[in-house]
Structure 1
């Protein structure tokens, strides 16, 4: 299953080093956030797969440096003015014929975190001074948009709110690069104030959200009792038979969405939310972070049980059914399975 999961990622990797989210028509684009997660299994592997993904992201920011320079001078007004989160697969250019919620601060935080993680692992993440300059401008961009209080579309690319998962990603990303560029101390402190002010909620309107698991893994901002509280709330309220729902009342691929359409109050969809497959390995990784190896192993087994065939995980299953949606295989889910499986194996080998 592990080998097949790697082969799925290989099939989704494009020649320039980034990934499409899925071969489905709906998802055959490059999302920077997905690329961050899909590159994680290669952080400590031989070869240049990990840094190649980030070099292409840095090239993207170089190509749009003119835009980055503008955004470093004034806060954007419209969503399309922000750094885009999704791009065409072939040439990694902005998509202007579709509206999209591009205000996704967690995406920028994730990229910075990935760069910092690579540097810490001894990988050649920065090719020259220009790459370093781009990283500095991304820090300035987060400062200028006031990521700690600017409502964003968040990990799920939906209605704008101040999301704990987005603020946390930015805090982790800023801390990851503070050894190579200038990160003002107040910039991190502002994010931490917001993060702890929201705790244990995801936002003012949302009590618990699958995205909050990122604050435990990979960002490791909430550990110990705080991490336990976040994980327990997700398990108690969002865990389902074939995955984890993103939040209560989620209408995306809800069993009622096609019949009634979206736009209804969240309570309208409760009990019909789609079950996301990467929720199981994500909970496994969080369990390991919190010291619960047996629970982590159980979640890895549950992940393997919902594979359509070895290594192939759909994005989600329709609520309470064994029916997957068309976004199959879903690279983000495959990457999370690899990370969880290898982490559990490593813990087991160390114990022996």
Structure 2
């Protein structure tokens, strides 16, 4: 069964404390906040304790750096290293030092969104008052940042500018956590207003961007018509044979001048079509994802455009979670179990 193999590969990335490394490769054998929040969503509707275990482990990381959160909850970071770091060592959960695009506001938004969704589903997300204090500090941190006008490195950890996906993640996170932390309500209107000022662009540099799909899934921030337009723009401008390029001109793993094709863009598009209620398109992208995965169920980070080969970051946990969530969404839409062997595999 395809989904069973995909789940087994994802489980191989899971650490004892419930966190996930992004990939077993040397360059990605780290714990990213964002990746873990997206991976955990594949367990949101389960009652096996895994969803909250991942969040408790992330809270443990934040607790280690409570001093930093407390300081920057009231004092805006100036240097990029002062921002809450997006990635940590797999062995000890410590910040990774060195030059990096550490200003990643969307990671904090994703964390708050998952906390709120977990509470809404009845999961025990807060273990004690210290956990509650950490969440309060993260809310204050976003307010002090004035995230709606803070230039961050964005989902792709690159140029500092205003990113619609980052502003959307923070806004969605505050909306999700607001019923349990009323102080989160204050900056939501600022976030929504700035988000719609930026749209349909992702940023000043990027007219089209894979990261914009997050506004539709998981955040569901946009009206149906605008969501459909963004999906159409991504499909028309970024969709390729083995995945979705992140944005035109992307140099990361560019192959003879052609952008790398990210496999996770396929199930992500499928999830957006599921949100829009299009079962046929959602199923099409599920099968498409199966065609680009490896025979053992591993989904690569990306394929090189000219060589048609995956890079070393195989498997990528984030891609696995999106595929598994898409399969569940299709079952919910159709009322049928959808699992089959891929017709053709990479």
Please, what TM-score do these two structures have when normalized by structure 1?
0.93
Match of 1:344 in 2: 330
Instruction: Kindly report which structure 2 residues correspond to 1:262-273, keeping only aligned pairs within 5 A, or say none.
Output: 269=257, 272-273=258-259
- Structure 2 residue 300 is the aligned partner of structure 1 residue 299: no
Equivalent residue runs for 1:77-226 within 5 Å: 77-96=78-97, 98-183=98-183, 185-226=185-226
Give the aligned partner of residue 15 of structure 1.
Answer: 16
The runs of at least 4 aligned residues of structure 1 exceeding 3 Å deviation read none
**2:255 touches 2:306 (CA, 8 Å); kept in 1?**
no
| Matched-pair contact (CA < 8 Å) for 2:178–2:185 | no
Shift of 1:8: 1.2
Report deviation, 1:185: 3.7
Residue 277 of structure 1: which of 263, 270, 273 is its match? 263
Q: Answer yes or no: is the 8 Å Cα contact 1:88–1:94 preserved in 2.
A: yes
- Answer yes or no: is the 8 Å Cα contact 2:299–2:320 preserved in 1: yes
- The answer for the alignment partner of 1:253 in structure 2 is 253
- Ranges in structure 1 where 5+ consecutive residues have no aligned partner: 257-268
1:165 Cα shift? 0.2
Classify the secondary structure of the residue corresponding to 1:27. Answer: coil
Distance in 2 (alpha carbons) for counterparts of 1:74 and 1:113: 23
Per-residue deviation, 1:320: 4.2
What is the Cα deviation at residue 71 of structure 1? 0.3
CA contact (8 A) 2:113 2:174 kept: yes
The aligned residue for residue 333 of structure 1 is: 319
Residue 229 of structure 2: aligned partner: 229
Structure 2, unaligned stretches of length 5 or more? Answer: 338-346
CA drift at 1:321: 3.8
* Partners of 1:58 and 1:134 within 8 A in 2: yes
| Aligned residue number for residue 36 of structure 1 | 37
* Matched residue SS, 2:232: helix
Contact 2:300–2:316 (CA<8 Å) still a contact in 1? yes
In 1, Cα distance between equivalents of 2:220 and 2:297 = 27
Q: How many residues align?
A: 337
Matched, 1:316 2:313: no
RMSD: 1.4
Note the C-alpha offset of 1:183. Answer: 2.6
Once the two structures are superposed, residues 267-287 of structure 1 have per-residue CA deviations (whole angstroms, 9 ceiling, x without a partner) of: xx4xx0000000000000000
Question: 1:310 deviation in Å?
Answer: 4.0
**Shift in Å at residue 301 of structure 1?**
0.6
